[in-house]
Chains A and B, each alone.
Chain A
Amino acid sequence: MKMKSIQNHQLYRLVAAHLKEIVREPAVLFWGIVFPILMAWGLGVAFTNKSDMKREVAFVSSVGDTTGLYAHTSAIFGAGFSPVRDTFSVHLKNAKLGNVHLHFRRCSSDEALVLLKKGTVALIVEGNGKNLLYRFDPANAEAQLLYQLVKGVELNGRDYYAAHQAEIKPLDIRGTRYIDFLVPGLLAMGIMMSCSWGISYTIIERRSKKLLRRMVATPMKKSNLLLALITARFLMNVIESLLLFLFAWLYFDIEIQGSLLALLALFLSGNMVFAGISVLISSRTANPEIGNGLINAVVTPMMVVSGIFFSYQHFPEWIVPVIRYMPLTMLADGVRSVFNEGAGLLEVWREVLTLAVTGVVTFVIGLKIFKWY
């Protein structure tokens, strides 16, 4: 009897209706659940797996007997020269630093410059019969590192790279990999995307189909309609986030170092802020195309600058404080600090409060100016 009365409640029915609508659209499930996991997997694998480093170096000789000079140079590097292929390789081994394969390629100085511009090589070694000259862009950290390596081999032989392994103590601190940075960001972005498209777009579409108008011509409580949309979205977000985390945990061995309670508070406030913003975005227009533009105008800038994929610290200095207070940035930073820095409620309560209040304010404003028909 009790169960029956709950089931006949309009809020229950509205939530159920919206959940069914979501679940019965397979594409929605793909973009909401499978796609973020694929993204985490692809980016995580691309940026996390450390394999042997392979580097190309251009070798240019500026005097007549190039072949002799070339053979001489390869001897300096302790490698055998192959006149047929015009190349020689130096293999440096170090279990702690990772192996490096240097591949020297003989070419004219013009060819070398083309290779440098294309990014195929970062370093040009020039032999003039007396000593070796190194050409590279000192502002390029990668090129500088390569120069140090090659110079080291020139001076000390290739075994130097393998020396002193005992003194190197690799840091074994969790939460420093790229995937550790990425997954909290993807969780935050997932909430934003899911709310803005799931709530805003649905409202605008229903307004354009006059379904909102039909529904408010009944004794239905208006706020229940919006609450139901938000609740259904929230439940979907719980599932989407859990699956993404589960994947990252099983596949990348990611872990939550901080307090679960703080994470929960951030998750709730993140849902609040993006639900509120979504209601505000969709409060007036009945045109899905305008709605599309509005949603993109809000979502895209945050996606680009909020440091989901790469840190926003590289943006110009004056804009960083602005970025830091964007809802997506606050959420992503908060989630990241719980995951990787072991933050608790004490460290993230400001973010939680700001996001929650912003959510309530935008929701109330949206509701005030809401056009039902």
Chain B
Amino acid sequence: MEYIVEVSGVKKSFKDVQAVKGVSFGIKPGEFVGLLGPNGAGKTTLVEMIEGLQNPDEGEIRIAGKSWKNNPKELHQLIGLSLQETHFIDRLTVFETAQLFASFYKLGDTRVNEIIELVGLQEKRKAYVNNLSGGQRQRLALGIAVLNKPAVLLLDEPTTGLDPHARREIWTILKNLKEEMNTSLILTTHYMEEAEFLCERIIILDHGTVLADGTIPQLLLDFNGARNLDELFINMTGRHLYE
């Protein structure tokens, strides 16, 4: 199996807005892919379709060769995700929250302790979730996302709103994850440096289509003169990637 995630000819419309207009790409096992694009480019819709939260109008999405339609249970076991902003149950502790999610995967306390250590929340084990800082909460969300050792990890802006220090902590966790597991990552982000630091491959979306797809050096080379991804985007569209 060459690709763990296959997206082919996917289209999706909401009422009169065509959010995704025919997108195709494949992601290999262990590949870290950054999904970039301005607001309204269709990133979230695309990610939600890969997560099985939305159905494509046309085209197909396969994970490990299986579609959501016929294999929702198996695919839920294969993916892990964190949403843009994650709220959990306020008055559960970090440990209890992870334990609750672990039960959905039939996992026990051993794994719960592992992921708490993985995201460095050992000292906050018994803290209520609503007493965590933004960075700690995102780390918990990340830990929960990898509880089941997913083949595909989908993170929607995991560090938005965090201070640089907290952001670095998340990056380190993800880097370690890359070394330890053969997880593929699809990451949407507003931060160029985040994509550059974590991802070996970038897919740029604009107006629901793929504008560019490749490794960063390759993309910069293709559009000669671009020094970074933002310049690359300006060269292609005349607009900034993020204002």
* Interface residue ranges, A against B (CB under 8 Å): 4, 8-10, 12-14, 17, 20-21, 24-25, 209-211, 213-220, 373
A373 and B104 alpha carbons, distance in the complex (Å)? 18
A25 and B130 alpha carbons, distance in the complex (Å)? 13
Residues of B near A214 (CB, < 8 A) are 81, 83, 86
* Interface residue ranges, B against A (CB under 8 Å): 51-53, 73, 76-77, 79, 81, 83, 85-92, 96, 99-108, 128
Residues of B near A21 (CB, < 8 A) are 89-92
24 A-B Cβ contacts within 8 A? A8-B103, A10-B104, A13-B99, A14-B103, A17-B92, A20-B91, A20-B96, A21-B89, A24-B91, A24-B128, A25-B91, A211-B88, A214-B81, A214-B83, A215-B104, A217-B52, A217-B53, A217-B76, A217-B79, A218-B76, A218-B105, A219-B76, A219-B105, A220-B104
B106 pairs with A20, CB closer than 8 A:
no
Residues of A near B81 (CB, < 8 A) are 214, 217
Residues of A near B86 (CB, < 8 A) are 210, 214
B108 pairs with A4, CB closer than 8 A:
yes
Residues of A near B83 (CB, < 8 A) are 210, 213-214
Residue of B nearest to A25 (CB): B91
A13 and B108 alpha carbons, distance in the complex (Å)? 11
A218 pairs with B104, CB closer than 8 A:
yes
Residue of A nearest to B91 (CB): A24
Residue of A nearest to B147 (CB): A218
Residues of A near B77 (CB, < 8 A) are 219
A12 and B96 alpha carbons, distance in the complex (Å)? 12
* Candidates B85, B96, B103; contact of A9 at CB < 8 Å: B103
B106 pairs with A8, CB closer than 8 A:
yes
B52 pairs with A218, CB closer than 8 A:
no
A219 pairs with B104, CB closer than 8 A:
yes
* Candidates A13, A25, A213, A217; contact of B100 at CB < 8 Å: A13
Residues of A near B103 (CB, < 8 A) are 8-10, 12-14
Residue of B73, B76, B77, B128 with highest tally of chain A CB at under 10 A: B76
Residues of A near B52 (CB, < 8 A) are 217
A17 and B100 alpha carbons, distance in the complex (Å)? 7
A17 and B108 alpha carbons, distance in the complex (Å)? 16
A219 pairs with B108, CB closer than 8 A:
no
A332 and B177 alpha carbons, distance in the complex (Å)? 58
Residue of B86, B100, B106 with highest tally of chain A CB at under 10 A: B100
B177 → chain A, closest Cβ, in Å? 19
B101 pairs with A17, CB closer than 8 A:
no
A218 and B145 alpha carbons, distance in the complex (Å)? 9
B105 pairs with A17, CB closer than 8 A:
no
A225 and B205 alpha carbons, distance in the complex (Å)? 36
For the complex with contacts A14-B103, A21-B92, A210-B83, 14 further pairs of A-B residues with Cβ separation under 8 Å are A10-B104, A10-B106, A14-B100, A17-B89, A17-B100, A21-B89, A21-B90, A24-B91, A209-B87, A213-B53, A215-B104, A219-B73, A219-B105, A373-B53
Closest 10 CB pairs of A and B: A209-B87, A13-B103, A220-B104, A24-B91, A218-B104, A219-B76, A10-B103, A13-B100, A17-B100, A21-B91
A208 → chain B, closest Cβ, in Å? 9
Residue of A nearest to B85 (CB): A210
A373 and B51 alpha carbons, distance in the complex (Å)? 13
Residue of B nearest to A12 (CB): B103
Residues of A near B100 (CB, < 8 A) are 13-14, 17
A67 → chain B, closest Cβ, in Å? 74
Residue of A nearest to B105 (CB): A219
A8 and B105 alpha carbons, distance in the complex (Å)? 9
Residues of B near A211 (CB, < 8 A) are 87-89
Residues of A near B79 (CB, < 8 A) are 217
Residue of A nearest to B141 (CB): A214
A272 and B53 alpha carbons, distance in the complex (Å)? 30
Residue of A nearest to B109 (CB): A8
Residue of B nearest to A18 (CB): B89
B13 → chain A, closest Cβ, in Å? 18
Residue of A nearest to B90 (CB): A21
A220 and B103 alpha carbons, distance in the complex (Å)? 8
* Candidates A4, A20, A215; contact of B92 at CB < 8 Å: A20
A8 and B83 alpha carbons, distance in the complex (Å)? 25
Residues of A near B128 (CB, < 8 A) are 24
B82 → chain A, closest Cβ, in Å? 8
A13 and B52 alpha carbons, distance in the complex (Å)? 24
A216 → chain B, closest Cβ, in Å? 8
B104 → chain A, closest Cβ, in Å? 4
Residues of A near B91 (CB, < 8 A) are 20-21, 24-25
Residues of A near B73 (CB, < 8 A) are 219
A219 and B74 alpha carbons, distance in the complex (Å)? 8
Residues of A near B88 (CB, < 8 A) are 211
Residue of A8, A210, A211 with highest tally of chain B CB at under 10 A: A8
Residues of A near B53 (CB, < 8 A) are 213, 216-217, 373
Residues of B near A4 (CB, < 8 A) are 108
B108 pairs with A218, CB closer than 8 A:
no
A218 pairs with B101, CB closer than 8 A:
yes
Residue of B nearest to A218 (CB): B104
A17 pairs with B96, CB closer than 8 A:
yes
A16 and B225 alpha carbons, distance in the complex (Å)? 59
Residues of B near A13 (CB, < 8 A) are 99-100, 103
A185 and B64 alpha carbons, distance in the complex (Å)? 58
A25 and B103 alpha carbons, distance in the complex (Å)? 24
A298 → chain B, closest Cβ, in Å? 25
